[in-house]
Amino acid sequence: MRFRKLKKQSKQTQNIKNSDIKTLPYARISDKIKAFITDMFMIYIPILYMITYIVMGGKDEFQASDVAPLLGVIIYGLIYSLFLMKSGQTPGKKAYTIKVVDSKTLEKLSFIRAFFRFIVFLVSATVLVGLIVPFFRKDRKFIHDIVCNTVEIEVDK
């Protein structure tokens, strides 16, 4: 096949992909927040409970430790990343029919990319500016979605 035809064909497929991405059913911000709260109760709180009462032996030891809360966040981040790698959904995101995918290919994320997204989320949530950004964007992306080139879309049940 000639180079011109190949180039023309690749531009046509690229235009199709770009038009598909522009019409994606972006997840609503309220559903993202509800999914986050659900994940906190279903994943993070049990982790903290186990660290506090099984590993540390009580709340006083947990409160005195500097490592225990950090350990809880790391374990939560690992579990969160595993969920995103496996299906693109955590339990909270599944409850609200949200899926996290790559914004260009619409494929699931790798574990490393999902964990990096979690780390960027922690940083952007600390600054609080990252939590305001989706209110000013049409695609409703948070800072961690912009940096990691991901998007949260609505899927069918």
> If you ran DSSP here, which 8-state letter would residue 16 be given?
H
Number of domains in the chain: 1
In a domain, residue 17? The reply is no
**How would residue 148 be classed by pLDDT, with cut points 50, 70 and 90?**
very high
Amino acid, single-letter form, for residue 42:
M
In a domain, residue 7? The reply is no
Amino acid, single-letter form, for residue 70:
L
Residue 108 burial by Cβ neighbours in a 10 Å radius (0-12, 13-18, 19+): middle
Q: Quick: pLDDT tens for 82-134.
A: 999 999 999 999 999 999 999 999 999 999 999 999 999 999 988 888 888 88
Domain span including residue 133:
26-154
